[in-house]
Amino acid sequence: MSIEHRLSEEHESLRATVAEFARDVVAPKIGDFYEREEFPYEIVREMGRMGLFGLPFPEEYGGMGGDYFALGLALEELARVDSSVAITLEAGVSLGAMPVFRFGTEEQKRTWLPQLCAGEMLGAFGLTEPECGSDAGGTRTTARLDRESDEWVINGTKCFITNSGTDITGLVTVTAVTGRKDDGRPRISSIIVPSGTPGFTVSKKYSKVGWNASDTRELSFVECRVPAANLLGEEGRGYAQFLRTLDEGRVAISALATGLAQGCLDESLAYAQQRQAFGRPIGANQAIQFKLADMEMRAHTARLAWRDAASRLVSGEAFKKEAALAKLYTSEVAVTNAREATQIHGGYGFMNEYPVARMWRDAKILEIGEGTSEVQRMLIARELGLAG
Ligand SMILES: Cc1cc2nc3c(=O)[nH]c(=O)nc-3n(C[C@H](O)[C@H](O)[C@H](O)COP(=O)(O)OP(=O)(O)OC[C@H]3O[C@@H](n4cnc5c(N)ncnc54)[C@H](O)[C@@H]3O)c2cc1C
């Protein structure tokens, strides 16, 4: 395996197109959406038209025929400017559409993927529950098969689910206990629940610290019935499915975190050259220069980490450890760069109108979502052969 340090012509063209879109379309508008805590439908629609939601899917399902590496490039460039739109894309692809593509029947793929790939519909993935997040195998949501009507009957609650309550959300894939193994452990399965199904209620948006222009909701299921055919893949395979989904998602989140770390540097570099103190630009001080040098070092190394994990994933090699390493490293780097960027901006860095304030608020969740830093360390230790 080798990591190419130069992008192919195709990848570079995609990166440049998304960078231009982020700079010209997202940057001027997103601050207002963020302040109003409003989902940016017009920007998401435009991302759909550009084909970003279809990047890693085959053309026969309406995708762009690219791969996870291409998705990572797009996420990095979006998050360099704003994380709410980046997480909307990340969750839409990695958590919404990818499980349908990886584990769905041909009919499920043909039903859902074209609209998901076009960004006209968003999908969500409901794993986390009020009583279990890191320990997602402890899911309490249940689904029983009513053989008479040939329907799953779902009961339970999911929390913190991204993209689950927008006007264009079409489905949520939920994990639920569908039985017990011989040793008494739960059999977990994934089931597609279309939006608007009776018994499926989406609560109002959470008030969040960051990602304020993205959609996050609590979901409840009370005797919610969906056809038996909505089972995703085999019954009892839900645990393995979500482990795979999260491994891949971590690669995408790493690219997003790298973008945030780079965006902090972009903003700080420009500010340090322009802001005057004691009669000269603050960037003339070695203390500030060293901060910027360290931010560059972290963003650069973060990029190598996500690209390494993505290259392994795309070439079909084992990538679990590298995905965990990349997720752990890039998220911690994003938080550090956001803290330093705010420091370099002084009091202005604490004002929401400055992008670095938004980046600071958006950074912390990267150490929590799709597996906390502690969970990543547990995974890496396990890969090192250390028993839990
Ligand atoms: C904005 C946002 C969007 C999200 N989107 C989604 C989504 O789309 N779909 C979805 O399913 N979930 C989503 N989540 C949920 C997210 O993945 C969980 O919050 C995360 O996995 C942590 O779970 P928890 O919050 O239950 O924390 P807990 O599991 O309760 O953990 C609390 C603390 O204990 C630590 N901890 C737990 N177990 C151990 C251990 N064995 N050793 C050491 N430390 C441990 C954790 O690392 C953490 O620091 C989202 C969350 C947020 C905030």
In this structure, the strands spanning 186-194 and 231-232 are antiparallel
Nearest alpha carbon, ligand 1 atom 37: 134
Asked if residues 53 and 89 have their Cβ atoms less than 8 Å apart, the reply is yes
Decide if domain 9-122 falls under CATH 1.10.540.10. Answer: yes
Provide the pLDDT for residue 2: 54
Residues in contact with 172: Cβ distance below 8 Å, sequence separation at least 6, in sequence order: 123, 124, 125, 126, 158, 161, 164, 192, 193, 195, 200, 219
Q: Indicate the top mutation candidate among 128, 188, 207 to test ligand 1's pocket, ranked by most ligand atoms within 8 A of CB.
A: 128
Where exactly does CATH 1.10.540.10 map onto the chain?
A: 9-122
Distance 72 CA to ligand 1 centre (A): 22
Bridge partner residues of 142 (DSSP): 155, 177
Q: What dihedral do alpha carbons 365, 367, 372, 373 form, nearest 10°?
A: -170
Q: What is the pLDDT of residue 1?
A: 47
Q: What is the pLDDT of residue 178?
A: 97
The closest residue, in CA terms, to atom 26 on ligand 1 is 133
Ligand 1 atom with the smallest distance to the CA of 158 is 11
Q: Which long-range contacts (CB under 8 A, 24 or more apart) does 279-283 make?
A: 282/344
Q: How far is the CA of 336 from the centre of ligand 1 (A)?
A: 20
Write the CATH number of the domain with boundaries 240-383.
Answer: 1.20.140.10
How many Å apart are CA 145 and CA 171, to the nearest integer? 20
Q: Where in the chain is the domain with CATH 2.40.110.10?
A: 124-236
Read off the amino acid at residue 162.
T
3-state secondary structure 217-262: EEEEEEEEEEEHHHEECCCCCHHHHHHHHHHHHHHHHHHHHHHHHH
Point out which residues pair with 191 in neighbouring strands.
174, 231
Task: Give percent above pLDDT 70 in the chain.
Answer: 99
For 221, phi then psi, to 5°, come to -125, 120
User: What region, left, alpha or beta, does residue 371 occupy, with left being phi > 0 and alpha being psi -120 to 50 degrees?
Assistant: left
Gap from CA of 307 to ligand 1 centroid (Å)? 25
- Give the Å distance between the CA of 372 and the centre of ligand 1: 6
Low-confidence ranges of the chain (pLDDT < 50): 1
- Ligand 1 neighbours, Cβ below 6 Å, are 91, 95, 124-128, 133-134, 160-162, 208, 211, 216, 365, 368-372, 374-375
Q: How far apart are CA 367 and CA 254, in angstroms?
A: 10
Q: Looking at the DSSP assignment, which residues form a beta bridge with residue 187?
A: 179
pTM: 0.97
Indicate the CATH number for domain 124-236. Answer: 2.40.110.10
What residue type is 156 in one-letter code? G
Distance between CA atoms of residues 371 and 373, nearest Å: 7
